[in-house]
Amino acid sequence: MANVSIRVNGEGRALTVDTRTTLLDALREHLQLTGSKKGCDHGQCGACTVMVGGRRIYSCLTLAVMHEGEEVTTIEGLGQPGNLHPMQAAFVKHDGYQCGYCTPGQICASVAALDEIKAGIPSHVTADLTTAPQVTFEEIRERMSGNICRCGAYSNIVDAITEVAGRQA
């Protein structure tokens, strides 16, 4: 067992965890923040996506003890029913989900993906590496490809993200 303090959604949380406990299980089982989902536990689906220090990662492939003092943002930190984050509201409006299990991961990933475009981080589909990437359908689809939606809501998810990106621009 090990002690670790993590800031989760702006709040300091002191935890005593097994060294083997992933950040995902620390969130879901210890803090009972079950919005981050376990779809595969092997970094193959994206349902566990959270932001650490503002960057999106798979929380299933990192240990809780490795995040001492770091700032973790989960879906619960983005917005709540009645106080939805613009991305959450856009997902509802565009029906960008079905069963809902991949949805928190999709939303966390999409918020971070738009930040990555703003920060000038290129992607596989960026035509010219020497210029800043733009918000296009193709860029969004590529950048969201680490989040599987087996229900197949992709087309609607991209509509939701595009709307939010347009509002931000």
Partner 1 sequence: MKPFTYERARSPAEAATAAARQPGARFIAGGTNLLDLMKLQIETPAHLIDVNGLGLDRIEATDEGGLRIGALVRNTDLASDERVRRDYGVLSRALLAGASGQLRNKATTAGNLLQRTRCPYFYDTAQPCNKRQPGSGCAAIGGITRQLAVIGSSEACIATHPSDMAVAMRALDAVVETVKADGSTRRIPIAEFHRLPGDTPHMETTLEAGEFITAVTLPPPAGGRHFYRKVRDRASYAFALVSVAAVVQRDGTGRVALGGVAHKPWRVEAAEAELPRGARQAMSAILTGARPTHDNAFKVKLAERTLAAVLAEARG
Partner 2 sequence: MKFETPATTNPIDQLKVVGQPVDRIDGPRKTTGTAPYAYERHDAVPNQAYGYVLGAGIAKGRVTAMDTAAAKAAPGVLAVVTTLDMPRLEKGQMNTASLFGGREIQHYHQAIAVIVAESFEQARDAAAMIRVSYARAPGRFDLAAEAPKAQLATGDSGEGSGAPHEDRTGDFEGAFAQAPVTLDATYTTPDESHAMMEPHATIAAWDGEKLTVWTSNQMIAWGKRDLAKTLGIPAENVRMDSPFIGGGFGGKLFLRADAVLAALGARAARRPVKLALTRPLVANNTTHRPATIQRIRIGAERDGRITAIAHESLSGDLEGGGPETAVAQTKLLYAGANRLTAMRLAVLDLPEGNAMRAPGEAPGLMALEVAMDEMAEKLGIDPIEFRVLNDTQVDPEHPERPFSQRQLVACLRQGAERFGWSRRNATPGQRREGRWLVGMGVAAGFRNNLVMKSGARVRLDAGGGVTVETDMTDIGTGSYTIIAQTAAEMMGVPLDKVTVRLGDSDFPVSAGSGGQWGGNSSTAGVYAACVKLREAAAQALGINSSEATFADGQVRAGNRSVPLGRAAGAEGLVAEDTIEYGGLARRYQQSTFAGHFVEVAVDAATGETRVRRMLAVCAAGRILNPKSARSQVIGAMTMGVGAALMEELAVDKRHGFFVNHDLASYEVPIHADIPHQEVIFLDEVDPISSPMKAKGVGELGICGVGAAVANAIYNATGVRVRTYPITLDKLLDALPEVA
Task: Name which of residues 130 to 169 contact partner 1 (CB under 8 A).
Answer: 130, 142-143, 145-148
Among 28, 37, 56, 94, binds partner 1 (CB under 8 A): 56
Given a contact cutoff of 8 angstroms between Cβ atoms, the answer to whether 95 and 153 are in contact is yes
In this complex, which beta carbon is closest to partner 1, that of residue 80 or of residue 120?
120
Tokens of 120: 């000038």
51, with CB counted inside 10 A (0-12, 13-18, 19+), is buried
Q: E-assigned strands of the chain?
A: 2-8, 11-17, 49-52, 55-58, 71-73
102 interacts with, out of partner 2, partner 1, none, CB within 5 to 8 A per kind: partner 2
Q: E-assigned strands of 27-162?
A: 49-52, 55-58, 71-73
3-state secondary structure of 49: strand
What backbone torsions phi and psi does residue 123 show, to the nearest 5 degrees?
-130, 175
- Tokens 């029913």 sit on residue: 81
Among 6, 8, 15, 22, binds partner 1 (CB under 8 A): 22
Among 6, 31, 62, 161, binds partner 1 (CB under 8 A): 62
Smallest distance from the beta carbon of 71 to partner 2, in angstroms? 18
Smallest distance from the beta carbon of 118 to partner 1, in angstroms? 13
What is the spatial distance between Cα 139 and Cα 117, in angstroms, rounded to a whole number?
9
- Tokens 């566990």 sit on residue: 48
Binding site for partner 1 (CB under 8 A): 2, 18-20, 22, 41-43, 46, 49, 55-58, 61-63, 65-66, 109, 112-113, 116, 120-124, 126, 129-130, 142-143, 145-148
Binding site for partner 2 (CB under 8 A): 18, 20-21, 25, 28-29, 32-42, 44-45, 47, 74-76, 78-82, 84, 88-89, 91-93, 95, 97-104, 107, 125, 137, 140-142, 144-158
